[in-house]
Amino acid sequence: MKIRYALIASVLLLVLLADIHPQDTFNYDMNGSGGVIYADGETGLDLTFGMGMGYKNVFTSLLLADVGLIPTGGGDRYYMDAFSNGQSRCRDRVTGRFAPTSACHGVKIIYAVAGDINFVLPTGNLPQPFIGIGIRGGTASTAYASFGFIWQRDNRNRYFARLNAGKELFQLGIGTSIKLNK
């Protein structure tokens, strides 16, 4: 399946490159977003930072840091067991064994990198919808589909809302991108 996505992306890139004219320029930007993530059966806060490149109605994004903060509040499986000497330890209800304290409370950090190619649908209205495909490496490694909206506030800043969905992956976020070239 990943090969199919790579072939589709390659064909679309060739179509894009066939329409390049010397007077046209590529746009480069930095982007960041925040939102929620569901990855490998866990839900938490998602923070991303990356770089992007755009040309006409096509833009790509390379997320160098896709960090998920997953609360590990213990749920039903882990609990703090108090002893008669006043000490307490985290314990697993299923196995009865001691568990790391972080399993009873704390935050699990998941990390990934991702890249995608997106196409802005030429509606002429704001916000403009976009669709795309991408691939993610790290936690919840998968190919994914992307859908969202872009608002262009001025010549340098864009705002976006996007949804990425793939096998064992769901991301919903809002963010901004700042153009690096004029």
Peptide bond just before 127 cis, omega within 30 deg: yes
Q: Is residue 98 part of a domain?
A: no
Task: Please give the Cα distance from 86 to 82 (Å, whole number).
Answer: 7
Any long-range contacts for 160-167 (C-beta under 8 Å, 24+ apart)? 160/31, 160/33, 161/127, 162/33, 162/130, 164/114, 164/116, 164/134, 164/136, 166/136, 166/140, 166/142, 167/142, 167/143
Phi, psi of 93 (to 5 degrees): -65, -30
pLDDT, position 22: 47
pLDDT digits (tens, 9 = 90+) for 131-179: 999 999 998 899 999 999 998 766 678 899 999 999 989 999 999 998 8
Q: Is residue 87 part of a domain?
A: no
Residue 124: give the domain boundaries. 2-72+106-179
Task: Please give the Cα distance from 114 to 65 (Å, whole number).
Answer: 8
CB atoms within 10 A of CB 148: 21
Q: Is residue 84 part of a domain?
A: no
Q: Is residue 46 part of a domain?
A: yes
β-bridge partners, 146: 132, 164
pLDDT surpassing 60 at residue 33 = yes
Q: Is residue 100 part of a domain?
A: no
Domain total for the chain?
1
Q: Is residue 26 part of a domain?
A: yes
Q: Is residue 45 part of a domain?
A: yes
Q: Is residue 93 part of a domain?
A: no
CA torsion, points 4, 5, 9, 10, in degrees to nearest 10?
Answer: -30
pLDDT digits (tens, 9 = 90+) for 72-118: 765 678 888 889 998 999 888 899 999 888 778 778 889 999 999 99
Query: The domain spanning residue 141 has which CATH number?
Result: 2.40.160.20
Q: How confident is the model at residue 7 (pLDDT cuts 50, 70, 90)?
A: low
Task: Please give the Cα distance from 96 to 127 (Å, whole number).
Answer: 54
Supply the pTM of this predicted model: 0.72
